Structure 1
Amino acid sequence: MADYLFEPAEVFALEVKGDAKLYPLRRIFCVGRNYAAHAAEMGNEVDREAPWYFTKQVAHAVTSGAVLPYPPGTENYHHEMELAFVLGASVFRANAAEAQAAIYAYGCALDMTRRDRQQDGKDNRRPWSLGKDVEGSAVLGPLTKAEAFGAVADQRIYLEVNGVTRQDASLEEMVWSCGEIVAHLSRYYHLGAGDIILTGTPAGVGPVVAGDSIRGGIEGLEGVSLTLGTAE
Protein backbone atom coordinates (compact mmCIF):
# COMPACT_ATOMS: atom_id res chain seq x y z
CA MET A 1 0.00 0.00 0.00
CA ALA A 2 1.35 3.44 -0.95
CA ASP A 3 2.56 5.73 1.81
CA TYR A 4 1.71 9.36 1.01
CA LEU A 5 3.23 12.55 2.40
CA PHE A 6 -0.31 13.79 3.05
CA GLU A 7 -3.81 12.36 2.75
CA PRO A 8 -4.96 12.30 -0.91
CA ALA A 9 -8.17 14.13 -1.81
CA GLU A 10 -11.36 12.13 -1.64
CA VAL A 11 -12.98 11.11 -4.91
CA PHE A 12 -15.70 13.57 -5.93
CA ALA A 13 -18.79 11.75 -7.15
CA LEU A 14 -22.39 12.49 -8.09
CA GLU A 15 -25.62 10.71 -7.30
CA VAL A 16 -27.28 8.91 -10.21
CA LYS A 17 -31.05 8.76 -9.91
CA GLY A 18 -32.28 5.18 -9.54
CA ASP A 19 -28.78 3.74 -9.00
CA ALA A 20 -27.09 2.91 -5.70
CA LYS A 21 -23.67 3.57 -7.22
CA LEU A 22 -22.13 7.04 -7.54
CA TYR A 23 -20.57 8.54 -10.67
CA PRO A 24 -16.95 9.66 -9.97
CA LEU A 25 -15.61 12.68 -11.82
CA ARG A 26 -12.15 12.99 -13.35
CA ARG A 27 -12.42 16.06 -15.64
CA ILE A 28 -14.72 19.06 -16.18
CA PHE A 29 -15.03 20.60 -19.65
CA CYS A 30 -17.15 23.71 -20.28
CA VAL A 31 -18.47 25.00 -23.61
CA GLY A 32 -18.20 28.73 -24.23
CA ARG A 33 -20.87 30.89 -25.90
CA ASN A 34 -23.27 28.10 -26.80
CA TYR A 35 -26.36 30.36 -26.70
CA ALA A 36 -26.45 33.24 -29.16
CA ALA A 37 -28.49 35.50 -26.85
CA HIS A 38 -25.98 35.10 -24.02
CA ALA A 39 -23.06 35.78 -26.35
CA ALA A 40 -24.84 38.95 -27.48
CA GLU A 41 -25.49 40.18 -23.95
CA MET A 42 -21.76 39.83 -23.26
CA GLY A 43 -20.91 41.77 -26.42
CA ASN A 44 -19.76 38.73 -28.37
CA GLU A 45 -20.82 36.64 -31.33
CA VAL A 46 -21.13 32.85 -31.50
CA ASP A 47 -18.35 31.06 -33.33
CA ARG A 48 -20.39 28.85 -35.65
CA GLU A 49 -17.34 27.15 -37.14
CA ALA A 50 -16.80 24.95 -34.08
CA PRO A 51 -17.49 24.89 -30.33
CA TRP A 52 -14.71 25.96 -27.97
CA TYR A 53 -13.94 25.17 -24.35
CA PHE A 54 -12.43 26.01 -21.01
CA THR A 55 -11.92 23.72 -18.04
CA LYS A 56 -12.45 23.63 -14.29
CA GLN A 57 -10.67 21.46 -11.75
CA VAL A 58 -12.70 18.69 -10.15
CA ALA A 59 -11.30 20.00 -6.86
CA HIS A 60 -13.50 23.07 -7.40
CA ALA A 61 -16.73 21.09 -7.80
CA VAL A 62 -19.42 20.92 -5.11
CA THR A 63 -22.76 19.17 -4.95
CA SER A 64 -26.09 20.95 -5.13
CA GLY A 65 -27.24 22.46 -1.85
CA ALA A 66 -23.82 23.76 -0.86
CA VAL A 67 -23.45 26.84 1.33
CA LEU A 68 -20.25 28.64 0.37
CA PRO A 69 -18.67 31.99 1.23
CA TYR A 70 -18.69 34.73 -1.36
CA PRO A 71 -15.37 34.15 -3.12
CA PRO A 72 -12.30 36.33 -2.66
CA GLY A 73 -10.86 38.53 -5.38
CA THR A 74 -14.09 39.67 -7.02
CA GLU A 75 -16.76 42.35 -6.80
CA ASN A 76 -18.84 40.91 -9.64
CA TYR A 77 -19.66 37.23 -9.09
CA HIS A 78 -22.14 35.87 -11.66
CA HIS A 79 -24.50 32.92 -11.94
CA GLU A 80 -24.67 30.81 -15.12
CA MET A 81 -27.26 28.02 -15.33
CA GLU A 82 -26.30 25.09 -17.58
CA LEU A 83 -27.21 21.62 -18.81
CA ALA A 84 -24.43 19.17 -18.00
CA PHE A 85 -23.90 15.64 -19.21
CA VAL A 86 -21.49 12.84 -18.35
CA LEU A 87 -19.99 10.10 -20.46
CA GLY A 88 -20.21 6.36 -19.90
CA ALA A 89 -18.03 5.06 -22.72
CA SER A 90 -14.61 5.83 -24.18
CA VAL A 91 -14.63 7.87 -27.40
CA PHE A 92 -11.85 9.27 -29.56
CA ARG A 93 -12.47 10.92 -32.94
CA ALA A 94 -16.08 9.84 -32.60
CA ASN A 95 -18.67 10.06 -35.34
CA ALA A 96 -22.13 11.43 -34.59
CA ALA A 97 -23.65 8.09 -33.58
CA GLU A 98 -20.71 7.13 -31.37
CA ALA A 99 -20.72 10.52 -29.70
CA GLN A 100 -24.42 10.43 -28.83
CA ALA A 101 -24.21 6.81 -27.62
CA ALA A 102 -21.40 7.73 -25.21
CA ILE A 103 -23.63 10.08 -23.20
CA TYR A 104 -24.58 8.32 -19.98
CA ALA A 105 -26.60 10.87 -18.00
CA TYR A 106 -27.66 14.51 -17.74
CA GLY A 107 -27.82 16.95 -14.85
CA CYS A 108 -28.20 20.58 -13.83
CA ALA A 109 -25.11 22.70 -13.18
CA LEU A 110 -24.08 26.19 -12.13
CA ASP A 111 -20.96 27.68 -13.69
CA MET A 112 -20.20 30.44 -11.18
CA THR A 113 -17.92 33.12 -12.57
CA ARG A 114 -15.77 35.98 -11.31
CA ARG A 115 -16.89 38.22 -14.18
CA ASP A 116 -14.42 40.99 -13.39
CA ARG A 117 -11.50 38.58 -13.38
CA GLN A 118 -12.75 36.97 -16.60
CA GLN A 119 -12.88 40.44 -18.17
CA ASP A 120 -9.31 41.07 -17.04
CA GLY A 121 -8.29 38.00 -18.99
CA LYS A 122 -10.16 39.13 -22.08
CA ASP A 123 -8.77 42.68 -21.92
CA ASN A 124 -5.18 41.49 -21.49
CA ARG A 125 -5.41 38.43 -23.77
CA ARG A 126 -4.68 36.12 -20.86
CA PRO A 127 -6.31 32.88 -19.66
CA TRP A 128 -9.66 33.00 -17.88
CA SER A 129 -8.58 30.80 -14.97
CA LEU A 130 -9.09 33.41 -12.23
CA GLY A 131 -12.55 34.09 -13.61
CA LYS A 132 -13.75 30.56 -14.27
CA ASP A 133 -11.70 28.03 -12.31
CA VAL A 134 -12.88 29.27 -8.93
CA GLU A 135 -13.17 27.22 -5.74
CA GLY A 136 -16.75 25.99 -5.47
CA SER A 137 -17.67 27.33 -8.91
CA ALA A 138 -18.90 24.07 -10.46
CA VAL A 139 -22.13 23.31 -8.60
CA LEU A 140 -23.53 20.00 -9.80
CA GLY A 141 -26.91 18.37 -9.26
CA PRO A 142 -27.81 14.67 -9.27
CA LEU A 143 -27.65 12.86 -12.59
CA THR A 144 -30.53 11.37 -14.56
CA LYS A 145 -29.69 8.58 -16.99
CA ALA A 146 -30.00 9.47 -20.66
CA GLU A 147 -32.72 6.92 -21.36
CA ALA A 148 -34.85 8.36 -18.56
CA PHE A 149 -34.35 11.98 -19.60
CA GLY A 150 -34.91 11.39 -23.30
CA ALA A 151 -33.79 13.58 -26.17
CA VAL A 152 -32.48 17.09 -25.50
CA ALA A 153 -35.10 19.24 -27.23
CA ASP A 154 -37.16 22.22 -26.04
CA GLN A 155 -36.97 21.60 -22.29
CA ARG A 156 -37.11 24.77 -20.22
CA ILE A 157 -33.89 25.88 -18.50
CA TYR A 158 -34.20 28.56 -15.82
CA LEU A 159 -32.59 30.14 -12.77
CA GLU A 160 -33.93 32.12 -9.82
CA VAL A 161 -32.12 34.31 -7.29
CA ASN A 162 -34.05 34.74 -4.04
CA GLY A 163 -37.15 33.50 -5.84
CA VAL A 164 -36.91 35.99 -8.72
CA THR A 165 -36.38 34.55 -12.19
CA ARG A 166 -33.16 35.69 -13.85
CA GLN A 167 -32.67 33.16 -16.66
CA ASP A 168 -35.49 31.52 -18.62
CA ALA A 169 -34.87 29.82 -21.97
CA SER A 170 -35.09 26.53 -23.86
CA LEU A 171 -32.44 23.92 -24.51
CA GLU A 172 -33.28 24.12 -28.19
CA GLU A 173 -31.47 27.47 -28.19
CA MET A 174 -28.11 25.73 -27.85
CA VAL A 175 -25.93 26.34 -30.91
CA TRP A 176 -24.07 23.02 -30.57
CA SER A 177 -25.91 19.86 -29.53
CA CYS A 178 -24.52 17.49 -26.92
CA GLY A 179 -23.61 14.93 -29.58
CA GLU A 180 -21.86 17.55 -31.69
CA ILE A 181 -19.87 18.69 -28.68
CA VAL A 182 -18.69 15.16 -27.90
CA ALA A 183 -17.76 14.49 -31.51
CA HIS A 184 -15.74 17.70 -31.74
CA LEU A 185 -14.06 17.49 -28.33
CA SER A 186 -13.06 13.88 -28.99
CA ARG A 187 -10.79 15.12 -31.78
CA TYR A 188 -8.55 16.58 -29.08
CA TYR A 189 -9.02 14.28 -26.06
CA HIS A 190 -9.53 10.61 -25.33
CA LEU A 191 -12.88 11.09 -23.63
CA GLY A 192 -14.56 8.57 -21.39
CA ALA A 193 -16.23 7.68 -18.13
CA GLY A 194 -15.62 10.31 -15.49
CA ASP A 195 -15.82 13.24 -17.89
CA ILE A 196 -18.53 15.86 -17.42
CA ILE A 197 -19.31 18.59 -19.95
CA LEU A 198 -21.20 21.80 -19.14
CA THR A 199 -22.94 23.02 -22.27
CA GLY A 200 -23.08 26.79 -21.81
CA THR A 201 -25.60 29.23 -20.39
CA PRO A 202 -28.57 31.12 -21.85
CA ALA A 203 -29.09 34.87 -21.58
CA GLY A 204 -29.87 36.52 -18.25
CA VAL A 205 -26.63 36.04 -16.35
CA GLY A 206 -25.98 38.54 -13.59
CA PRO A 207 -24.34 39.29 -10.26
CA VAL A 208 -25.07 37.69 -6.92
CA VAL A 209 -24.05 38.84 -3.45
CA ALA A 210 -23.53 37.40 -0.01
CA GLY A 211 -26.79 36.02 1.39
CA ASP A 212 -28.30 35.20 -1.99
CA SER A 213 -30.06 31.88 -2.61
CA ILE A 214 -29.61 30.55 -6.16
CA ARG A 215 -31.85 27.84 -7.57
CA GLY A 216 -31.88 26.52 -11.12
CA GLY A 217 -33.66 23.79 -13.02
CA ILE A 218 -34.25 22.01 -16.30
CA GLU A 219 -37.48 20.21 -17.11
CA GLY A 220 -37.04 16.49 -16.49
CA LEU A 221 -33.99 16.85 -14.23
CA GLU A 222 -33.47 17.40 -10.53
CA GLY A 223 -32.57 21.03 -9.84
CA VAL A 224 -29.43 22.62 -8.47
CA SER A 225 -28.97 25.16 -5.70
CA LEU A 226 -26.31 27.26 -3.98
CA THR A 227 -26.37 29.67 -1.06
CA LEU A 228 -23.71 32.35 -0.73
CA GLY A 229 -22.48 33.26 2.72
CA THR A 230 -20.41 36.25 3.78
CA ALA A 231 -17.02 36.82 2.18
CA GLU A 232 -14.01 35.34 3.91
Structure 2
Amino acid sequence: MTTSLLWRPHQAAVPVAGRPGAFPVRRVYCVGRNYLDHIREMREGDERDDPFFFHKPADAVVPDGSAVPYPPQTEDLQFEGELVVAIGREGVDIGPQDALDHVFGFAAGIDLTRRDRQRECRAMARPWEAGKSFDHSAPCGPILPAQQATQTLSGELRLSVNGELRQHTSLKLMIWDVPEIISHLSRSYRLMPGDLIYTGTPAGVAPVRPGDRIHVEITGLPSLTVTIRPGDTHASQ
Protein backbone atom coordinates (compact mmCIF):
# COMPACT_ATOMS: atom_id res chain seq x y z
CA MET A 1 0.00 0.00 0.00
CA THR A 2 1.39 3.38 -0.98
CA THR A 3 1.16 6.26 1.46
CA SER A 4 0.39 9.60 -0.14
CA LEU A 5 2.58 12.60 0.51
CA LEU A 6 1.18 15.24 2.84
CA TRP A 7 2.12 18.03 0.44
CA ARG A 8 1.79 18.68 -3.26
CA PRO A 9 5.07 19.46 -5.07
CA HIS A 10 5.20 22.88 -6.68
CA GLN A 11 4.32 22.86 -10.39
CA ALA A 12 6.00 25.70 -12.23
CA ALA A 13 3.88 27.20 -15.00
CA VAL A 14 4.26 30.06 -17.46
CA PRO A 15 1.36 32.26 -18.62
CA VAL A 16 0.31 31.96 -22.27
CA ALA A 17 -0.30 35.30 -23.97
CA GLY A 18 -3.95 35.87 -24.82
CA ARG A 19 -5.16 32.58 -23.36
CA PRO A 20 -6.54 31.47 -19.99
CA GLY A 21 -4.54 29.03 -17.95
CA ALA A 22 -0.80 28.47 -18.19
CA PHE A 23 1.89 26.24 -19.71
CA PRO A 24 2.98 23.68 -17.06
CA VAL A 25 6.75 23.18 -17.04
CA ARG A 26 8.10 19.64 -17.25
CA ARG A 27 11.82 20.12 -17.90
CA VAL A 28 14.19 23.01 -18.61
CA TYR A 29 16.99 22.46 -21.13
CA CYS A 30 19.63 25.11 -21.87
CA VAL A 31 21.99 25.38 -24.83
CA GLY A 32 25.58 26.38 -24.17
CA ARG A 33 27.92 28.30 -26.49
CA ASN A 34 25.39 29.26 -29.18
CA TYR A 35 26.61 32.76 -30.18
CA LEU A 36 30.14 33.27 -31.45
CA ASP A 37 30.52 36.71 -29.83
CA HIS A 38 29.65 35.26 -26.41
CA ILE A 39 32.10 32.38 -26.88
CA ARG A 40 34.79 34.96 -27.61
CA GLU A 41 33.94 37.16 -24.62
CA MET A 42 34.18 34.06 -22.40
CA ARG A 43 37.57 33.33 -24.04
CA GLU A 44 36.46 29.86 -25.11
CA GLY A 45 37.78 29.88 -28.70
CA ASP A 46 36.06 30.21 -32.08
CA GLU A 47 35.13 26.66 -32.98
CA ARG A 48 31.63 25.61 -34.05
CA ASP A 49 31.24 22.49 -31.92
CA ASP A 50 28.17 20.29 -31.75
CA PRO A 51 25.64 21.91 -29.41
CA PHE A 52 25.73 20.82 -25.78
CA PHE A 53 23.02 21.07 -23.18
CA PHE A 54 22.61 21.45 -19.44
CA HIS A 55 19.54 21.47 -17.21
CA LYS A 56 17.89 23.75 -14.70
CA PRO A 57 15.24 22.56 -12.23
CA ALA A 58 11.69 23.05 -13.48
CA ASP A 59 10.87 25.05 -10.37
CA ALA A 60 13.70 27.48 -11.18
CA VAL A 61 11.26 29.07 -13.66
CA VAL A 62 9.78 32.35 -12.41
CA PRO A 63 7.35 34.59 -14.30
CA ASP A 64 7.45 38.13 -15.61
CA GLY A 65 7.37 40.72 -12.84
CA SER A 66 9.16 38.55 -10.28
CA ALA A 67 11.51 39.87 -7.60
CA VAL A 68 14.40 37.40 -7.81
CA PRO A 69 16.46 36.97 -4.62
CA TYR A 70 20.21 37.32 -5.00
CA PRO A 71 21.37 33.70 -4.63
CA PRO A 72 23.80 32.39 -2.02
CA GLN A 73 27.28 31.11 -2.79
CA THR A 74 28.17 33.79 -5.34
CA GLU A 75 29.64 37.25 -5.67
CA ASP A 76 29.13 37.35 -9.45
CA LEU A 77 25.50 36.87 -10.50
CA GLN A 78 25.18 37.54 -14.25
CA PHE A 79 22.30 37.85 -16.70
CA GLU A 80 22.01 36.03 -20.04
CA GLY A 81 19.08 37.09 -22.24
CA GLU A 82 17.72 34.24 -24.36
CA LEU A 83 14.94 33.10 -26.66
CA VAL A 84 12.92 30.32 -25.01
CA VAL A 85 11.21 27.57 -27.02
CA ALA A 86 8.17 25.84 -25.47
CA ILE A 87 7.59 22.29 -26.69
CA GLY A 88 3.98 21.26 -27.28
CA ARG A 89 4.26 17.89 -29.02
CA GLU A 90 6.12 14.71 -28.07
CA GLY A 91 9.04 13.64 -30.23
CA VAL A 92 12.32 11.74 -30.36
CA ASP A 93 15.04 11.82 -33.03
CA ILE A 94 13.24 14.68 -34.76
CA GLY A 95 14.55 15.85 -38.13
CA PRO A 96 15.28 19.58 -38.49
CA GLN A 97 12.66 19.82 -41.21
CA ASP A 98 9.98 18.66 -38.75
CA ALA A 99 11.24 20.39 -35.61
CA LEU A 100 9.00 23.46 -35.66
CA ASP A 101 5.94 21.19 -35.76
CA HIS A 102 6.79 20.30 -32.15
CA VAL A 103 6.88 23.90 -30.92
CA PHE A 104 3.98 25.27 -28.89
CA GLY A 105 5.35 28.79 -28.67
CA PHE A 106 8.18 31.18 -27.83
CA ALA A 107 9.07 33.46 -24.93
CA ALA A 108 11.75 35.84 -23.69
CA GLY A 109 13.94 34.36 -20.98
CA ILE A 110 16.93 34.99 -18.73
CA ASP A 111 19.50 32.38 -17.78
CA LEU A 112 20.78 33.74 -14.46
CA THR A 113 24.28 32.43 -13.79
CA ARG A 114 26.58 32.27 -10.77
CA ARG A 115 29.57 33.02 -12.99
CA ASP A 116 32.21 32.48 -10.31
CA ARG A 117 30.81 29.04 -9.51
CA GLN A 118 30.55 28.18 -13.22
CA ARG A 119 34.20 29.10 -13.79
CA GLU A 120 35.27 26.97 -10.84
CA CYS A 121 33.34 24.01 -12.23
CA ARG A 122 34.84 24.47 -15.68
CA ALA A 123 38.39 24.71 -14.25
CA MET A 124 37.87 21.39 -12.45
CA ALA A 125 36.14 19.75 -15.45
CA ARG A 126 32.98 19.35 -13.38
CA PRO A 127 29.34 19.79 -14.44
CA TRP A 128 28.01 23.35 -14.45
CA GLU A 129 25.15 22.80 -11.99
CA ALA A 130 26.64 24.93 -9.22
CA GLY A 131 26.78 27.88 -11.60
CA LYS A 132 23.50 27.35 -13.43
CA SER A 133 20.99 25.20 -11.56
CA PHE A 134 19.78 27.18 -8.57
CA ASP A 135 16.50 28.59 -7.28
CA HIS A 136 14.81 31.33 -9.38
CA SER A 137 17.51 31.05 -12.07
CA ALA A 138 15.21 30.75 -15.10
CA PRO A 139 12.90 33.80 -15.48
CA CYS A 140 10.52 33.33 -18.41
CA GLY A 141 8.09 35.78 -19.96
CA PRO A 142 4.61 34.90 -21.24
CA ILE A 143 4.62 32.34 -24.06
CA LEU A 144 3.27 33.47 -27.41
CA PRO A 145 1.82 30.58 -29.46
CA ALA A 146 4.02 29.77 -32.44
CA GLN A 147 1.41 30.60 -35.06
CA GLN A 148 1.36 34.18 -33.78
CA ALA A 149 5.17 34.55 -33.50
CA THR A 150 5.70 34.90 -37.24
CA GLN A 151 8.59 37.40 -37.02
CA THR A 152 10.40 36.07 -33.99
CA LEU A 153 12.99 33.67 -35.42
CA SER A 154 14.28 36.33 -37.81
CA GLY A 155 14.02 39.08 -35.19
CA GLU A 156 16.22 40.64 -32.52
CA LEU A 157 16.89 40.30 -28.81
CA ARG A 158 17.56 43.26 -26.52
CA LEU A 159 18.36 43.17 -22.82
CA SER A 160 18.68 46.26 -20.66
CA VAL A 161 19.62 46.76 -17.02
CA ASN A 162 18.12 49.80 -15.30
CA GLY A 163 17.27 51.18 -18.74
CA GLU A 164 20.79 50.75 -20.17
CA LEU A 165 21.09 48.44 -23.20
CA ARG A 166 23.52 45.62 -22.42
CA GLN A 167 22.77 42.90 -24.99
CA HIS A 168 21.54 43.30 -28.58
CA THR A 169 21.65 40.66 -31.30
CA SER A 170 19.87 39.18 -34.27
CA LEU A 171 18.49 35.73 -33.52
CA LYS A 172 19.78 34.73 -36.95
CA LEU A 173 23.30 34.84 -35.44
CA MET A 174 22.69 31.74 -33.33
CA ILE A 175 25.27 29.11 -34.27
CA TRP A 176 22.57 26.43 -34.02
CA ASP A 177 19.10 27.64 -35.00
CA VAL A 178 15.89 26.47 -33.35
CA PRO A 179 15.19 23.50 -35.67
CA GLU A 180 18.79 22.28 -35.27
CA ILE A 181 18.62 22.66 -31.48
CA ILE A 182 15.40 20.65 -31.25
CA SER A 183 16.77 17.98 -33.57
CA HIS A 184 20.04 17.56 -31.65
CA LEU A 185 18.33 17.57 -28.25
CA SER A 186 15.76 14.98 -29.33
CA ARG A 187 18.53 12.52 -30.14
CA SER A 188 19.34 12.30 -26.43
CA TYR A 189 15.96 12.96 -24.80
CA ARG A 190 12.33 12.30 -25.62
CA LEU A 191 10.91 15.80 -25.82
CA MET A 192 7.50 16.19 -24.26
CA PRO A 193 4.83 18.88 -23.92
CA GLY A 194 5.89 21.15 -21.07
CA ASP A 195 9.59 21.23 -21.94
CA LEU A 196 11.32 24.61 -22.21
CA ILE A 197 14.53 25.14 -24.18
CA TYR A 198 16.69 28.21 -23.46
CA THR A 199 18.59 28.72 -26.71
CA GLY A 200 21.77 30.54 -25.61
CA THR A 201 22.93 34.12 -25.12
CA PRO A 202 24.91 36.69 -27.13
CA ALA A 203 27.79 38.85 -25.89
CA GLY A 204 27.29 41.53 -23.27
CA VAL A 205 26.74 39.47 -20.12
CA ALA A 206 27.67 41.24 -16.89
CA PRO A 207 27.00 41.18 -13.12
CA VAL A 208 23.86 42.49 -11.46
CA ARG A 209 23.22 43.47 -7.85
CA PRO A 210 20.16 43.81 -5.63
CA GLY A 211 17.95 46.64 -6.86
CA ASP A 212 18.81 46.10 -10.54
CA ARG A 213 15.93 45.79 -13.02
CA ILE A 214 16.48 43.46 -15.99
CA HIS A 215 14.27 43.88 -19.06
CA VAL A 216 14.28 41.60 -22.13
CA GLU A 217 12.58 42.28 -25.46
CA ILE A 218 12.42 39.87 -28.42
CA THR A 219 10.76 40.74 -31.71
CA GLY A 220 7.06 39.88 -31.65
CA LEU A 221 7.01 38.45 -28.10
CA PRO A 222 5.76 39.74 -24.76
CA SER A 223 8.61 41.34 -22.83
CA LEU A 224 10.12 40.03 -19.59
CA THR A 225 11.10 42.15 -16.60
CA VAL A 226 12.51 40.99 -13.26
CA THR A 227 14.10 42.83 -10.36
CA ILE A 228 16.97 41.47 -8.27
CA ARG A 229 16.24 41.77 -4.56
CA PRO A 230 18.49 41.09 -1.57
CA GLY A 231 18.83 37.41 -0.72
CA ASP A 232 18.27 36.16 2.80
CA THR A 233 21.59 34.29 2.91
CA HIS A 234 23.79 36.51 0.71
CA ALA A 235 26.79 37.47 2.85
CA SER A 236 27.01 41.09 1.68
CA GLN A 237 23.38 41.94 2.45
Please tell me whether the aligned partners of residues 113 and 131 of structure 1 are also in contact (alpha carbons under 8 angstroms).
yes
Match of 2:179 in 1: 179
Q: How does 1:1-232 map to 2 (within 5 A)?
A: 3-45=3-45, 47-150=47-150, 152-232=152-232
- Cα distance in 1 for partners of 2:109, 2:118 equals 19
Q: CA RMSD in A?
A: 1.4
Could you state the TM-score of these two structures normalised by the residue count of structure 1? 0.95
Structure 2: state its 5+ residue gaps: 233-237
Please tell me whether the aligned partners of residues 33 and 46 of structure 1 are also in contact (alpha carbons under 8 angstroms).
no
Sort the Cα spacing of 1:176 and 1:74 in 2 relative to 1 into closer, same or farther, 3 A: same
User: How many angstroms does 1:152 deviate by?
Assistant: 4.3
Question: Structure 1 runs of 4+ off > 6 angstroms?
Answer: none
- Cα distance in 2 for partners of 1:82, 1:134 equals 17
Could you state the TM-score of these two structures normalised by the residue count of structure 2? 0.93
User: How many angstroms does 1:231 deviate by?
Assistant: 2.9
User: How many angstroms does 1:155 deviate by?
Assistant: 1.1
- Cα distance in 1 for partners of 2:126, 2:49 equals 22
SS at match of 1:121: helix
SS at match of 1:206: coil
User: How many angstroms does 1:19 deviate by?
Assistant: 1.9
1:149-189 deviation per Cα after TM superposition (whole angstroms, max 9, x unaligned): 11544312011111111111111110111111111111111
Range that drifts further, 112-121 or 123-132: 123-132
Please tell me whether the aligned partners of residues 78 and 114 of structure 2 are also in contact (alpha carbons under 8 angstroms).
yes
- Cα distance in 2 for partners of 1:60, 1:180 equals 25
- Cα distance in 1 for partners of 2:98, 2:40 equals 32
Please tell me whether the aligned partners of residues 34 and 46 of structure 1 are also in contact (alpha carbons under 8 angstroms).
no
